[in-house]
Amino acid sequence: MDSQVKEIHSKVEREAPTIESVMSELKKRIVGQEEMLQGLLIGLLAKGHILVEGVPGLAKTLTVKTLSEVLDIDFKRIQFTPDLLPSDIVGTLIYNQKIGEFEPKKGPVFTNFVLADEINRAPAKVQAALLEAMQEKQVTIGERGYKLDEPFLVMATQNPIEQEGTYNLPEAQIDRFMLKIKVGYPKKEEEKIILDRMISQEEIKVSKVLSRDKIVELTNLSDEIYISDRIKNYIVDIVHSTREPEGYNLKIKSFIDYGASPRASIFLARAAKANALLSGRGFVTADDIKSVSFSVLRHRIILSYEAEAEGVASEDIITQIFNTIMVP
């Protein structure tokens, strides 16, 4: 097994300059927001969709558009609005008079990288139009299914402070996002840099670094990252503690209506592998699990009314879990 890990580790070291160049291109335009940038690359490498939540003006859309420019792949942005229809996303059948048949007119979801901007502004039936694409990597139009090209990544943004004219994402939809990233305000010194950049007329250009084939190669390498049985057991303990906290001496049961689903275990492992790759390692450590845990778990723990009444957030529960469960 040691020789296998060494071989994977050497592959990872060879790819380190490529990954560093992607991050440096993103940072040409994006100031700070380390968690969001890291999360985007983890989602890309682990083939997982991302939900980004933050107040307006925090460069959520700019970050995704910048990443699409750095990647040499197709990109489409869908602005979600209350009057949007499912067919506006997946497409529909159009009657062709010349041949006397219906032909598919494919929607914007047929691309590599989809930005679902302000996803909570559209009703549930429109949000659900993304479900099949996100889960099955295919879209059904009429009676026929159409496979989506690889890589396929959905990044959705939502504004947590606006309630009027918004529709909360159903739990089933949220669970399909590998990561939920919360974007905060920039630091004072970072905001000064943002101000200098935005009031100047100079356009900040970024270079294309990754081709479609290279992205697929890196996602395959992420899959190869070694994860030991003890780390797998650690993941299972973390997820199970959200369902049966008493078995782990955790006094949080009254704060949780529903614990994390089995997708949490799968996504923790996949995201941790991608994090190890970004860190230049060919194997997963407990620190990788901790690094991705908040983004993977925060939207999978359904809080009780008591938790909301006492101001207990899912992040507080995750912190308690990591403070209690022993690192293997």
- Here the CATH number for the domain that contains residue 69 is 3.40.50.300
Containing 43, the helix (H) or strand (E) segment is helix 34-46
Cα–Cα nearest to 274, from 215, 325, 317? 215
Strands (E) located in 167-295: 177-182, 210-211, 256-258
Residues 193, 117 share a domain: yes
23 in a structural domain: no
Q: How many domains does the chain have?
A: 2
Residues 303, 168 share a domain: no
Torsion sign across C-alpha atoms 83, 88, 93, 99: positive
For 52-114, the three-class secondary structure string (H helix, E strand, C coil) is EECCCCCCHHHHHHHHHHHEECCEEEEECCCCCCCHHHHEEEEEECCCCEEEEEECCCCCCEE
* Distances from the Cα of 191 to the Cα of 33, 185, 187, 289, angstroms: 11, 9, 6, 31
Domain limits for position 233:
226-324
Helix, strand, coil share (%) of the chain residues, nearest 5: 50, 20, 30
Q: Do the beta carbons of residue 237 and residue 273 sit within 8 Å? A: no
Residues 45, 189 share a domain: yes
Residues 40, 189 share a domain: yes
246 in a structural domain: yes
Residues 240, 96 share a domain: no
Residues 274, 234 share a domain: yes
95 in a structural domain: yes
245 in a structural domain: yes
User: For residue 314, which phi and psi values (nearest 5 degrees)?
Assistant: -60, -30
27 in a structural domain: no
Residues 184, 66 share a domain: yes
- First vs last C-alpha separation in the chain: 19
Distance CA(251)–CA(317), nearest Å, equals: 10
Distance CA(19)–CA(34), nearest Å, equals: 15
How many alpha carbons fall within 13 Å on the CB side of residue 185? 5
* Distances from the Cα of 180 to the Cα of 99, 186, 211, 213, angstroms: 47, 19, 26, 27
Residues 50, 181 share a domain: yes
Residues 245, 163 share a domain: no
Distance CA(43)–CA(166), nearest Å, equals: 26
Going residue by residue through the chain, which has 328 residues, state the pLDDT in tens, using 9 for 90 and above: 577 778 887 888 888 888 888 888 888 878 777 888 888 889 989 988 999 887 777 777 788 888 888 888 888 888 888 888 888 888 888 877 778 777 878 888 888 888 888 888 888 888 888 877 888 888 888 778 888 888 888 888 887 766 655 777 777 778 889 999 888 787 888 788 878 777 776 777 888 888 888 888 889 889 989 998 999 999 999 999 999 888 888 888 888 888 888 889 999 999 999 999 998 888 899 999 999 999 999 888 888 898 888 888 888 889 999 988 888 7
| CATH number assigned to the domain comprising residue 247 | 1.10.8.80
Residues 124, 162 share a domain: yes
8 in a structural domain: no
User: For residue 84, which phi and psi values (nearest 5 degrees)?
Assistant: -70, 145
Residues 38, 162 share a domain: yes
Which pLDDT score, from 0 to 100, does residue 295 have?
A: 92
**Which of 198, 218, 241 is where one domain is finished?**
198
How many alpha carbons fall within 13 Å on the CB side of residue 145? 7
Which pLDDT score, from 0 to 100, does residue 1 have?
A: 54
pTM of the model: 0.86
Residues in a beta bridge with 258? 302
Residues in a beta bridge with 156? 51, 116
* Count of CB atoms situated within 10 Å of the CB of 227: 19
**Which of 181, 198, 215 is where one domain is finished?**
198
Distance CA(37)–CA(12), nearest Å, equals: 19
57 in a structural domain: yes
Which pLDDT score, from 0 to 100, does residue 131 have?
A: 77
Distance CA(150)–CA(189), nearest Å, equals: 39
161 in a structural domain: yes
Q: Do the beta carbons of residue 295 and residue 181 sit within 8 Å? A: yes
Which pLDDT score, from 0 to 100, does residue 88 have?
A: 86
Residues in a beta bridge with 256? 303
Residues 134, 240 share a domain: no
